Structures are given as C-alpha cells and as structure tokens.
Structure 1
Amino acid sequence: MMFNFKKFFGEKDESPLANVEEVTRILDYLPVTDPVQSLQELTHWLNQLATKENFKLKKRIQLAERFDQSAQQHVRKLLVEYIKTPRMNKARDETIWNTCKQFESAVNLADFRCLADYQKDAEGVSAEEIALLAVRAMRALTMQVHWLHLRYQSLPEDFWDKIYAIFNVSEQYGFSRLAVSLNAYAKVETSVLVEMLKILMMEVSSPDQLTKSQIEIARLLIEDYATSFVWEDLPAGGTVFHMDFASRNPPLRLSQMTQSHFMTRCFGPGKIVSSMVIALKQLESGAIPKGFDIQRFRDFEREDLLEVLLHLSQAWGKAKSKSQEELALDNKRDSQRKKAFSYLDVIHGLGNIHKKLHSLSDVFNNAHAENDINQLMQKNIDASIQVESWVVENVSKRGYGLTIPSLKQDWVQGSVVLAVKLSESPWAIGVIRRIEVDKKADTRVGISVLSLQPVAVRLRPVITDSTVWESKEHTSSAQNIDALLLKAEPPTESVDTLLVEMNSYHLHRIYELITSEGTRLIRLDFCEENFKRLDRVAFSEVKKEDLKKSASLYR
C-alpha cells in the first residue's frame, strides 16, 4: 500500500475564495457609503475568480452570482448619479464610468469562464443554474453597452462575438428560452433570449439621437416591453429587423435585399408599437395608460418620456418610402446642421485652458522655460483643471448647439471663451455666441469655433521696446503673459491671431512670442474682437534688424 505523503507537503488553497466564511466577510465589509470602492473591490474578486484554476464549477457559479448580486445596489447608485448630476466634473465622470464598465467586464469574464467549464464538464450543474448564469452574462453585456451609449461611443469589435457565444451555448444545451428569476424578489422571469432581444432592440433604436436621461428611459421601456418582442427563423408578422450571426455585424432592418441562411434570425417589436402609440396619446392627454408602470419614470421629465415613446415607436415601425421632396429636404438639412448627440469636454478660464493645452505640448525651450511652466508638464496636471462634460445635440462644421442644466452661480454667459473637445478630436477654442434659458430653467447654448489648432504660448515684453514714458527697469520687471495662439485656417482665417487677457498687454509694443517650437518677435497691432475678459489681437512679425533700429532710438 502506498502512503499519501502529499498530505504533509501539499499546498493549501490560501485564497479567500476557497473559504465561504472569508467570502462572507469580504461582502460584509464592503463600504456601503462608497459605491465606487465597493465595485472596485468586487471587480478585483471577480477577476480572481475568473482566472483561478482547479476550482469546482458549481462553486465558481455560486460565487459569481454572490458578487454580482452584492454589486447591484452600488451600480444603481452610480448610474443615478451619472445621469442626474448636472454638468458633472470630468474627473468624477471618468471615475464612475470606468469603475462601472470595468465591473461589468469582470462579471462577463467570470461568467464566460463558467460557461467554458460547463462545456467541458456539466456534472452537478442544473439547467436552471447554467441558464441563470447565461442570463447574468447577457445582462452584463447589456450594461456594458449601456455605459457606452451614455458616452455616445461605438461598440467594441468583439461585442457581437460575445453575444453569439452566449446564445450559441444556450441554444446548443437547450436553455435559451428557459425562464428563470434573477433573485428571490424578482417579479418577472426572464431568459437568455429575452435578454439578448433587449440588446438588439436597443441597438436598432438609434440611442445616439437621445440625451443621457432619454437613453435610460429607453432602457427601462425596453425592459418593460421585452416579453412582447418576437424572434423568428424567417421574416414573419412583427419582425422588422434581422441579425446575421455569421458576419457578427450589428442588426439591420429587413429589406428585399436581406439574404436568409441558417445563421440568420429575424426579430422585432411584435404588436407592441400600436400599444406604445396609444400610451403616448393617453400620456399627452394626462391619462395613465392601463398596465403602464408610471412610477418607473417618476424621476424623469414628462417631456423626455413622451419624446422617447415617440422615438421608439418610429424606430421600431415598418419603414415608409419618402417622396422626392422629403428626400431633398433631408439632404438640405444634412448639409447644414444635423442632430448628432455626442460628448463634449469643456474648460473655461484662460488659466485652465492654457494649462491643459500646455500639458499636451512639448516642453518649452529651456532658455525661456520657468519653474511654473515645467510644473505644467507633470502627469497629474488634469487634477487641477476643472473640466465639465456636456452633451452636444447639434453639430455643424464650425459650431455646436446644446442644452445644459442651469446653475445658481453660473459662469456660462455670452462671449465666454471655452476650450472644447468632441470625443476623440483634439482640443479646439470656441466662444459662446448664443445663450437663452428655457421654461425648465435649462440653458440653451450656441458655441462658435474660433480655432481648431490652438496653441498655448507666452508673451514677453522686449526690453528694448520701452517707450519714452517707461524705464528699462520697469519693462524688464513685467511678467510673462499667458496667451493662446489661434493658427490661421484658410479660407475662414488667413492670418494667425492671439487670445490675450484684457488689460494685460499694450498695443504697438514688441513682444517675444514663446512657443514649444521656439521664439518669434511680434508687434501687437490692433484688437480684432472683445470677449468676456479676453481680447482677440492681430499681430505682425518683426525682424531682428527692425528691433535693433527701434532700440537705437532710445539710447
């Protein structure tokens, strides 16, 4: 008989995940008042769970469910804060968005590991347990895409691969339509197919044409209507769209050009569109439609709910052919200003704008750089800059139109100069040309772009350019002046100009224009335009020979 020596030197599993009491302690000590930290800790443990080897499938599934359930209250808190906070600070915006998105990715990673293990060995796991796991995996994808929609970002390339992977396993093992409850308190049962249809119906609803609050309303409405959606192998009544799993492309509207094959499925709203139209009319008249859970939307504006109902009913309805006059009008509108919701980062104040642009440029020439300039190049410079995140409603080639919540002490005023950044575009300089407050106390803002190529620069008075009224000592003691160089952009702008703080400069004086590329000698000629606390100043180049001639006059 062989003796089991392994019991003397075999390593014990020291991971807290192996101990039920330790897992309970982890969950009990999550900071209830700090949802960000709670989600970050749960993300860590889900990632650990996904990569841990030699772990029983049933136990992995149970832990994934416990971590997911423990996180839901924190996800809801952050989602409400993200949607409801007016003009959220960019740093907080980034923290919430990244934390929630990373958590949903960790849920997916753990659930996908469970599904992979299930395909290898399904022993001890019931159909209900694996169906619930697949439902949670699909819901995590729903929330991932929801956070992307709230930022008006496109879906990752592998997103539809993940959708197909979950659905394929559920079809293969026969639980795609198996109804399960998410928890003991859930009023409505769901299934893998229902959860997938929620994702598909949102994708065909053009969420990029809705505000953040409206996107959340659309998500809630789709949850309420999900059991009415239809899924067929071939086009049938109530199907308006199709999904080609072979190409892994986003869903498209059915047309005469649609090619059907064994990996194509058709889906749509079923008969729910007519019910939505009736509900819309009743809500407009002040009545509450039968079976409509109005309490779900008590925290949203009534106008937003009505607009989303109209938007979804139009997006889900069967397409109608347009007349030549309607097509011509659409083309004319597209060439002017079009509705295109997107995220806009905004900085105000010359000091903040200068810091941000300077931090993105190269280090100034050491001969001209001072300590405060070098400090601007530190990695954490953004922490000192107040950046707001706005949602743009309309975009044209040289401007933006948007509506933002008004604040009691608001810096948003006419003629205020801003630095603006649209999604992945570089920073630009704009000015508020139009501003008005509507009935809901929201501020409608029109921003005109001044420059798409702004550069943070500094102006230094040239000592030899002192006037008969000033001594050289007085001039040399003058501080460098922060300014923004607006580069020429033909045909709208043929020459470079400067944005300078009011009363900080003198016209007709010679200055050194200090940039990261070197130094130029310029003369400030005249003020082109006045803004709030800033002037747009025209200048001309000065040759060194002319500077010497100017200096000789005062010797």
Structure 2
Amino acid sequence: MREFLNKLFKRDSSPFAGNKLANAWCRQLELDAPAAQRAKVLALARGFVADRKLPTPEALEATLLIDAAAQSSYDALCCQYVANPRMSKELERQLWTEIVEYAQAMIDLYQRFVKADPSPEDKPRIDAQMPQVLARSLHYLGLQAKWYHFRFERLPSKLWTQANQLYRLSEIDGFDSNPFPLYPGHADEVTSCADEYLQLLMLATLSSHNLTVRQLDWADHWLDRWSKLIQLSRKFYADRHHLCVNLQEDGGPVRVKEDQSEEPFRYWGLFDLIHELQETQRKLENGATPVSLGLGQDCRQPASTELLRLIESAWTTLMRNTQVTRSARQTVSKTAEVVQGLGRLCAMVRADNDKFSRQPAEVRTDVDYDEIMDMRLYGFVSERTRAKQATGPATVQPKSRQKVGSVAWAIENESEGGFGAILHAAENEWIRPGALIGMRTGEDDNWRVCVVRRLNRLRDEQLSAGIQILSATPVAVSVKAEDDENTQINLSDVSFLNTEFPMLRVGLYIPHLQGGNSVNTLMLHASEYANNRLYSVKARDRSFTVKLGSVLEKGADWVWANVQVVKQND
C-alpha cells in the first residue's frame, strides 16, 4: 500500500514534465563534456520513445529546448567527421554511426508528436509548435542523407518516405513556406519546411557526382541559402520546370517527364539557381572573397570556384536532360580507350588529323581534314586545298609523340548518341558529370569528343557513366586572342608528354547542327573564352580570324561556343 501511495504522489522529475524542469536539466547539461551531452540526450530521447510517454504540450516544449541545448555538441561531432578525411576506418565507422543514430533518435522523438492525437485543449499548443517540429525533422533527415552520400550509399527508402510525408503535412497545414529560425542560436538565419525539404532534394542531385566529403559539405551549407531561390509548384510548366518529386512514393528527385500527372508531383526549376551560381563565380573572378559572399569561413580559392563550376555543370546537365530525348540503347561488350580533358583530347585529335591527311584519293580510306575545314567554312572545297592535295606527298608521317596517358572503360551499352560505361572509381577519381573526355573503341578509330552526362556509384568501387558524343570528326586548332600579345602556341610545335598538360591555347573545331543548319563551333579552355572577342584560329598552315558567339555548353574548365568566321588570313 505504501509503495502504491508513493508512486501516486511522487512528482515526475523528468525534463519532459514541464518547461521549468527542462530548463534546469539543460543548464545542468551545459556542465558536461560534449560527448557526455550527446549521450545523455540520446538516452533521454530513446527512453521517451520506448516508454511511449504521453506527447503533451509540455513534453513538446521540453523536446525543443533539449534539442537546441545539444546542437553545439552535435555540430562539433559533424565537423570532426568532415575535417578528418584521412581518419582510420574504425574511427570513421564510429563517428558515422554516432551521427546517423543520433539524428534517427531525434527524428523518432519528434515523430511521437507528429503522430499524436492530442485532446481539444492540448491541440492548439501542439499545433503552434508543429512548424518547428516538421522543419527540424526534415533537417535531421537531411543530415542523415548527407552522411549516406559521404559513403556513396543509396538512401534508405524509409528516409524518402518520411521526408515526403513530412513536407506534405506542412502543405496540408498551410505553413510549408512560413519562415522562422530553426534554432534559437541561429536567430539571424531563417528557414522553412520547404527550405529544409528542398535542401535535402537538391543535395541528392549532387550525390552521384563523385564529390569529396568536403565538397559535399560545402554544397550542403551553400544550399542553406540557395534553397530559398527555388519554389515548389503543384502545377507543371514545361518551359520552367526541370525536376520533380512524387510525394506518395519512397524516392527522391527525378527529371520531369511529359506523362507525369500534376498530383501528387511537385515541380521546380533551376533557372534562378544557375543565375546565382554564375553571379557568384563572376564576383569571385572580380576579386571578391568566398567569405564576403557567404560561402563559409573555411572556403578558400581556387577550391570554391572549382566546386561552383562543378555544381553548375551538374545542374545545367539536369536542365539539358529534360529537353533531350534519348535514343534507344543496345547492349554491347566493348572496351574504350579514354583520355581526360581538352589538352589531352587535342593531342589525340591532332594525331588523327595528321594520320588521315595528304593521302592520295586512290588510297585514301578516310576524309581529308582540310576538306572538312573548307566544307564547314565555305560549303565547298577551295582551289587552294585541291592544289595542295595535288602537290602534297603521298603520306605524311606524324611527328613522333610520347603516348598520352589513357584509361580503359568497359562499354556495356551504346546508342546513336553515346555510350554507357562501367569504370573503376579508384582509377577515375577525377570524373564528374560535365567532364570532357576523348573516346575511341579501337586503335583504327578516330577519337571522339564526348561529355560525361550521368554518373552513379555502384557496389565494389565501380561507377556507371553515361557519355554523350558531341563530335566524331573534330579538327584540332591552336587559338590566340587578337588582343593578346603573348606568343601563340602551335600544335605542331608542342611535344605532348604523358604528364599533366598545362593550359595550352588549343581548341577543337566541331561541326554542329543547330536548328537544322550546320554551324561553326569552337571548343576552348574556359579561361580563354570571351563573347564577341576576335581570335586567330590556326589548323596546320591555315589561319582564320573568328569571333566567338553564344555559348552552346560549358564545363568546369571548357567552353563550347558558336563561332563566326571573319576572314581567312594569309
């Protein structure tokens, strides 16, 4: 009887019993070391969920206070992981597990209040806190997703199901875009349920792009601001939207398709985001510092500019993929030789140009590249070219060159416009969507100008890549701006070594169909491009003055632009 009376009259000393007890518990928590703080909060959250305690308004207010009190300790744990990319596997596993499990415990704790059926008198107080509950739940889901991305692991379907449902609840209650600080310590930084959800979605679009832990972490922090440039729409506009998500499925963002109905999909476009990226890059090029642009205290040049270009390339590729119909694929089993970057590709194309030029008509099995240049520039073969062919030697042996470093990729499917390849991650750490590569599937084949469009991480340290062919008949040229006083580098004078190439002033003349018409285009290093600038372009002993026009596409270190021939130089 005494034991029963003690239980009946004993006051609940749990911090979930009221605001006063919660504040006292948090003050006591501040005296502990960070690891002890996290351990106490983790035990408290798991205990509340396991005991199935009543989700009262007082318990919810205490949950919000306790979560905020432990944020500095949890942030320090996350920073420790990101700042130690070379940690031992055992330490990495330990930190990764602690970070993900802590986030899951907080998600489960908040879910008790999301699923609660409060009494009529408690409902107004719980509903008033629900924007914070849903936003913080989405925030923790985003942290879990980021740590899965760090390991290139596929996100659990449960994570996407929860995120989609939580955002949908915020829409139903009408506060999905209401701004507020996520935690009291970040009063100057506002967010919303939509912002947290979009940050999770957009980071997923970068997860398969072979970014480092530091790069993904920077991108995630930048998305704190960038997510506010995106707006989710219930209605689909073909000229505006590029990505969508199905709120009733266990998946993340996908590119829009014409056969998708408007409900339960949500759509968004990337135009404003790309514009912000380009403006940020322009300001950095004009001397602004990453810190002054809000990119973070630990961001430095040129790493931040490089990452901005990689992200821009990834998202412009997503935009492009919504407008391009893919041709049918056929399963094959081939091996392709691959070289990376414009410098190496120009070396290989130059060798092709030399190999197939100056062969007499009766023995020639391939096209003459002087003829190609004439047809692209004038629409006919000039008399000068015909005279040169008549007087030229039967064959011209290309200069001896050292072999350019290449890698082998296994081609598993091909289509009219490209390839699907499997490659080893360890041998291709440089690869990113938007990377410029040269490919050939046999020693007797020409080198093709290609761009990596899609990249997915597979098991066993393998990557799956989708590659688009831009041109099978490029012409290697040297490029010099008319107002540049520095000496032009001619391709014929360059000894291409099997080491890293410097930023040589080289380029590729590429035929391109635009609006059904054949146009002249030039691919060159990004640092060399300027719209409406005059350039001297030289292919062997032929030289032209050209003016660059609009950009067709660009990657992190290359630009592909329309070009207008002004004159042929002597």
TM-score band by shorter chain is 0.5 to 0.7
Question: How far did 1:235 drift?
Answer: 2.3
Question: How far did 1:28 drift?
Answer: 3.6
After TM superposition, the structure 1 stretch with the greater mean CA deviation from structure 2, 60-69 or 102-111, is 60-69
Distance 1:438 1:33 in 2: 54
Question: How far did 1:125 drift?
Answer: 1.4
Distance 1:59 1:232 in 2: 36
Distance 2:12 2:6 in 1: 16
Q: Residue type of the partner of 1:16?
A: S
Question: How far did 1:123 drift?
Answer: 2.0
Map residues 535-550 of structure 1 onto 2, 5 A cutoff.
none
Q: Is the 8 A contact 1:40 1:99 kept in 2?
A: no
Question: How far did 1:268 drift?
Answer: 2.9
Distance 1:438 1:34 in 2: 51
Q: Residue type of the partner of 2:63?
A: A
Question: How far did 1:96 drift?
Answer: 1.7
Q: 2:250 aligns with which of 240, 248, 271?
A: 248
Counterpart check, 1:220 vs 2:242 = no
Distance 1:137 1:337 in 2: 45
SS where residue 230 of structure 1 aligns?
coil
Question: How far did 1:49 drift?
Answer: 2.4
Cα distance change, pair 260–395 in 1 and its aligned pair in 2 (3 A): closer
Match of 1:102 in 2: 101
Map residues 310-349 of structure 1 onto 2, 5 A cutoff.
310-317=309-316, 318-319=319-320
Distance 2:33 2:208 in 1: 30
Distance 1:53 1:147 in 2: 29
SS where residue 288 of structure 2 aligns?
coil
Distance 1:316 1:263 in 2: 24
Match of 2:298 in 1: 299
Residue-by-residue CA offset, 1:224-255 (whole Å, 9 max, x unaligned): 11111121112236421011123332210113
Residue-by-residue CA offset, 1:356-398 (whole Å, 9 max, x unaligned): xxxxxxxxxxxxxxxxxxxxxxxxxxxxxxxxxxxxxx99459
Match of 2:92 in 1: 93
Note the aligned Cα RMSD (angstroms). Answer: 4.0
Distance 2:119 2:249 in 1: 27
Cα distance change, pair 173–83 in 1 and its aligned pair in 2 (3 A): same
Distance 1:334 1:254 in 2: 32
Distance 1:334 1:285 in 2: 41
Cα distance change, pair 275–265 in 1 and its aligned pair in 2 (3 A): same
Match of 1:391 in 2: none
Distance 1:125 1:191 in 2: 19
Cα distance change, pair 146–425 in 1 and its aligned pair in 2 (3 A): same
Match of 2:172 in 1: 172
Question: How far did 1:323 drift?
Answer: 12
Cα distance change, pair 56–32 in 1 and its aligned pair in 2 (3 A): same
Distance 1:150 1:169 in 2: 29
Match of 1:486 in 2: none
Match of 2:446 in 1: none
Match of 2:14 in 1: 16
Distance 1:32 1:395 in 2: 53
SS where residue 161 of structure 2 aligns?
helix
Match of 2:199 in 1: 198
Question: How far did 1:262 drift?
Answer: 1.8
Q: Is the 8 A contact 2:244 2:254 kept in 1?
A: yes
Cα distance change, pair 9–104 in 1 and its aligned pair in 2 (3 A): closer
SS where residue 136 of structure 1 aligns?
helix
SS where residue 319 of structure 1 aligns?
helix
Distance 2:279 2:13 in 1: 56
SS where residue 104 of structure 1 aligns?
helix
Cα distance change, pair 193–284 in 1 and its aligned pair in 2 (3 A): same
TM-score using structure 1 length: 0.54
Question: How far did 1:174 drift?
Answer: 2.3
Match of 1:267 in 2: 268
Q: Residue type of the partner of 2:194?
A: L
Distance 1:44 1:172 in 2: 33
Q: Is the 8 A contact 1:160 1:248 kept in 2?
A: yes
Counterpart check, 1:161 vs 2:165 = no
TM-score using structure 2 length: 0.53
Q: Residue type of the partner of 2:134?
A: A
SS where residue 259 of structure 1 aligns?
coil
Distance 1:204 1:59 in 2: 39
SS where residue 139 of structure 1 aligns?
helix
Distance 2:501 2:41 in 1: 43
Distance 2:339 2:27 in 1: 53
Q: Residue type of the partner of 1:10?
A: L
Q: Residue type of the partner of 1:51?
A: A
SS where residue 125 of structure 1 aligns?
helix
Q: Residue type of the partner of 2:223?
A: I
Match of 2:364 in 1: none
After TM superposition, the structure 1 stretch with the greater mean CA deviation from structure 2, 197-206 or 296-305, is 296-305
SS where residue 300 of structure 1 aligns?
coil
Match of 2:189 in 1: 188
Distance 1:62 1:21 in 2: 10
Question: How far did 1:180 drift?
Answer: 2.3
Residue-by-residue CA offset, 1:128-182 (whole Å, 9 max, x unaligned): 4111111111111111111111222210121111012212322222222222222
Cα distance change, pair 89–6 in 1 and its aligned pair in 2 (3 A): closer
Cα distance change, pair 13–54 in 1 and its aligned pair in 2 (3 A): farther
Match of 2:396 in 1: none
Q: Residue type of the partner of 1:200?
A: L
Q: Residue type of the partner of 2:205?
A: V
Cα distance change, pair 120–288 in 1 and its aligned pair in 2 (3 A): same
Q: For this pair of structures, how many residues does the alignment match?
A: 348
SS where residue 172 of structure 1 aligns?
helix
Cα distance change, pair 99–13 in 1 and its aligned pair in 2 (3 A): farther
Question: How far did 1:111 drift?
Answer: 0.7
Match of 1:73 in 2: 72
Distance 2:101 2:139 in 1: 14
Q: Residue type of the partner of 2:189?
A: V
Q: Is the 8 A contact 1:283 1:306 kept in 2?
A: yes
Q: Is the 8 A contact 2:235 2:262 kept in 1?
A: no
Question: How far did 1:217 drift?
Answer: 0.9
Cα distance change, pair 274–54 in 1 and its aligned pair in 2 (3 A): closer
Question: How far did 1:114 drift?
Answer: 0.7
Q: Which runs of 5+ in 2 are unaligned?
A: 342-420, 431-456, 462-498, 503-570
Q: Is the 8 A contact 1:127 1:175 kept in 2?
A: no
Q: Residue type of the partner of 1:211?
A: T
SS where residue 88 of structure 1 aligns?
coil
Q: Is the 8 A contact 1:338 1:396 kept in 2?
A: no
Q: Residue type of the partner of 1:46?
A: A
Q: Residue type of the partner of 1:188?
A: E
Q: Is the 8 A contact 2:199 2:224 kept in 1?
A: yes
Q: Is the 8 A contact 1:240 1:253 kept in 2?
A: yes
Q: Residue type of the partner of 1:139?
A: H
Q: Is the 8 A contact 1:230 1:270 kept in 2?
A: no
Distance 2:31 2:149 in 1: 27
Cα distance change, pair 252–9 in 1 and its aligned pair in 2 (3 A): closer
Residue-by-residue CA offset, 1:106-138 (whole Å, 9 max, x unaligned): 110011111111577652416441111111111
Cα distance change, pair 231–399 in 1 and its aligned pair in 2 (3 A): closer
Distance 2:9 2:340 in 1: 64
SS where residue 243 of structure 1 aligns?
strand
SS where residue 117 of structure 1 aligns?
coil
SS where residue 242 of structure 1 aligns?
strand
SS where residue 167 of structure 2 aligns?
helix
Q: Residue type of the partner of 2:164?
A: Y
Counterpart check, 1:150 vs 2:150 = yes
Q: Is the 8 A contact 1:138 1:196 kept in 2?
A: yes
Match of 1:41 in 2: 40
SS where residue 231 of structure 1 aligns?
coil
Match of 2:132 in 1: 132
Q: Is the 8 A contact 2:149 2:207 kept in 1?
A: no
